[in-house]
Every structure is written in structure tokens, then in C-alpha cells.
Amino acid sequence: MAHSESDFKEREEGSPAGQTGHVSYPFGYRRLSSQWGDARNQFVPGIVDFDIRPRSWPVSIAARMAFGYSGALPIGADPWASFSGSWDIDLGLRHVWRRFKTIQPFIGAGLGLVGASTTVQVRTHPGAFYYQNWDSTTAGPFVETGFYVPLRRGLHTGVLITYARGKGQLNGNGIELGGTQVAWLIGKSWGGKRGPSSTAH
């Protein structure tokens, strides 16, 4: 039996709701402002990055959560600091050029929450100490660019570059909480164009 036009359309959309999207695990590197001193270079284990777009929309809704870690401390912090960290939660719009088969570039922008913390080991006398924590959170804009590389079975890899801004305070000192992040992506995508598996039964 020959496939109807509706059969082909359903397969082309790739999902009952006619959506396209990606969900990725991002990990890589974050560089903060010079105010962070030796802690400006941070490892980013990542949490999640995703985008979703109804086919009637020109752009996708995108969101991301990530955090960074450094064993150093920002300028102005106590010299016995144990570690420093930063994090962000972003929500914005992303345009993905899915028409390309090998590399699908994207750009985006939005607003997010950026935060940071420093945990300090305070010595009271030899052999005794306690931990003091300072943290700060603020809202700020971000822009992003990158690309996806489609793989088999709906998998993909890619690269995400994000730049964010946001002023805060740590240990009584004003400090820029945002920075530049470069992350490698690996994950699952859906909603790509698919033709029928055969033309007749």
C-alpha cells in the first residue's frame, strides 16, 4: 500500500506535536573577569542545555543550567579560602539553522541568573577552624552562539559559547559574576526531517 501525504508529513515532523528540539549535557571551561584573580579560570561540569521549537515558530525557547568550580579564590578574599564557584540559569530564544545536514549553527540571547560563592576556612587557633561562606546572585543578559553536529539515531554533539553579565558582591567586594563559557555538547535531538522507510508495502 502506498504511503499517503499525511503519513509522510507525520514522519517529517518526527513527533506527534510537530516539535523540534535538543537536550544536551554541556561541560567545558569558564573564564571570569580579572577581579577573580587565580579563580577566573573554572572547570564547568555542566548540568543541562535544551531548546524546543513548535514548527510554526521561527525560533526556539532555550534554557541552560551550569556551574563552575575553582580551587583558587577571588582577589580580596581571605587567603585560607577553600574553593570558589559560579553558576548560571539562563532562559532565552535560540535560532537553529537545521537545513544544514552536517553542521547546524545557532545564535541566541536572553536573561539569566548568575551567582557565585566562596567558601573560606577560618583558623581560630592551631588545629581548629570553621568554614565561612559568602555568596551573591543577580540577574543579567547573555548572548550565545555555537553549532550542533547531527549523529546517528537522533544523537548529536556540538559546541556552545556563552557570554553573560551581572554585578554582585563577595565578601563585601563588588565583583563581576558573569563571564565567557565554552562548552562541549552531547545529547539527543528530535523532530528532524525523515522520509518514509519505504514507498509501498
- Write the pLDDT tens digit of every residue in 55-113: 899 999 999 999 998 877 776 655 555 778 899 999 999 999 988 889 999 999 999 99
Query: Can you tell me the distance from the alpha carbon of 44 to that of 108, in angstroms, rounded to the nearest whole number?
Result: 20
Q: Check whether 144 has a pLDDT greater than 70.
A: yes
201 lies in a domain? no
63 lies in a domain? yes
Please indicate whether residue 83 or residue 30 has the higher confidence score (pLDDT): 30
Indicate the number of domains in the chain: 1
Which whole number is the average pLDDT over 117-144?
A: 81
Place of cell 525560533: 59
Query: Can you tell me the distance from the alpha carbon of 153 to that of 184, in angstroms, rounded to the nearest whole number?
Result: 19
Q: Check whether 171 has a pLDDT greater than 60.
A: yes
197 lies in a domain? no
Which of 67-76, 132-141, 146-155 is least confident?
67-76
CATH number at residue 61: 2.40.160.20
Domain that holds residue 56: 5-190
182 lies in a domain? yes
